[in-house]
Amino acid sequence: MKPIQVGLLGIGTVGSGTFEVLKRNQEEIQRRAGRGIEVTMVADLDVARAKSIVGANVQVVDDARQVIANPDIDIVIELIGGYGIAKQLVLEAIEAGKHVVTANKALLAVHGTEIFAAAHQKGVMVAFEAAVAGGIPIIKALREGLTANRIQWLAGIINGTTNFILSEMRDKGLAFGDVLKQAQALGYAEADPTFDIEGVDAAHKATIMSAIAFGVPVQFDKAYVEGITKLESQDIKYAEQLGYRIKLLGISKRTAAGIELRVHPCLVPAKRLIANVEGAMNAVMVQADAVGTTLYYGKGAGSEPTASAVIADLVDITRLHTADPLNRVPHLAFQPDAMSNLPILPMAQVVTSYYLRLRVADQAGVLAKVTGILASADISIDAVLQREAGEGESHTDLIILTHDCVEAQMNQAIAEMQQLSTVLAPITRIRKEELN
């Protein structure tokens, strides 16, 4: 049978890894797919570099639209990234009747609804395993492996850069800025690390997973996003003393009122497996009614781990290439006409528990005032830790862990505590997730 012909848009880190793994494991892949899969055309602005990677037998052009226009190309792999030209090219490939494989989480999180609708109308597939958590097959697990389940929540370490930074801050007691420079030197962080450290990258991925888990449209604009730039090493130490570790988590939960979709630093019990995921590794926990808790762990980025996911998508499309579109797995797991209109909850309505650190004057009655404000807001306290003031110090740190409450209640309580003359600095608030 004639091999499936693939056109590759962009041959950077992931593109070159995809070409190499596909070539190296071609026999194994063909045995699984039922026919050969060959990259026969590549578009990249640096034509000379692209030719040095793919050799003389692959056509290299500098215009991606030439790949899309080629009638022999069955599948287009988009590895350009971003929201701009990548969106136009994906929609043009779909319009031309090509299946699409993409690792572009930003594109799908923001424009996924439009892209999936276009693909459904044309009867083609858009596959995106590589868009979330690199080599971890979390999309397939959510979309197919857990089909029998009603998923209750998911929580993931889905950005390796921030996890590396937090791991180093905990292990070495370093400040955020120092570890960020180290991460950039090692290649874990970009020259402009904003998308990583401000939580945007993780929110793109959480948005996609949430849509698949709960059968709702992708709605990145409604996600709550908070990064790690304000975390201090002392909070990591205090968390450790209380039996917790701080991780940047992407979280989505089903509640009676709607869907929570949020990314922010969390205190996680040190005994949880996910709390022990270190360095640049990724992990996703999923809680479902029939199977209980499952954990997916592995490399969330890198040339060949991400290529592994891209090629898995190529194999899936090759197997289903001639299938009736109505018999394929829906893009977001649920049939397009059966999507839910459950709202994404604003952060003020989310229920969780909290870690609070207050820099307070070292004098009598301070704790009573603080706990009085929490009590009047109907917020119960789980634990209190007070650092003894050092010799000559007139201030100390007061650490409070709370039980669950509505975020709006906590916002009001923090505003009232901040007004106390004995509270000497902005209050640090980190949410706490037990992940039971």
Residues with a catalytic annotation lie at: 205
13 burial via Cβ count (<10 Å: 0-12, 13-18, 19+): middle
Contact 136, 109 (CB under 8 A): no
The Cα 4–Cα 41 span in angstroms is: 12
Question: Which residues, in sequence order, are CB contacts of 356 under 8 Å at separation 6+?
Answer: 399, 400, 401, 402, 414, 427, 428, 429
Q: 351-361 and 244-254: which strand pairing?
A: unpaired
Can you tell me the distance from the alpha carbon of 2 to that of 16, in angstroms, rounded to the nearest whole number?
24
CB-neighbour burial class of residue 88 (10 A; exposed 0-12, middle 13-18, buried 19+): exposed
Distance CA 98, CA 108 (A): 17
Torsions phi, psi for 355 (to 5 deg): -110, 125
Q: DSSP assignment, residue 363?
A: S
Two structure tokens written together for 268:
């996680």
Q: Are 280 and 160 in contact (CB under 8 A)?
A: yes
Task: Specify which residues 5 forms β-bridges with.
Answer: 38
Instruction: Tell me the residue ranges of DSSP E strands in 277-339.
Output: 281-288, 292-299
Helices 200-214 and 105-122, axial angle in degrees (round to 10): 40
**CA dist 185 → 164, 191, 200 (Å):** 13, 9, 21
3-state secondary structure of 53: helix
Q: Where are the alpha helices (DSSP H) in 70-104?
A: 85-95
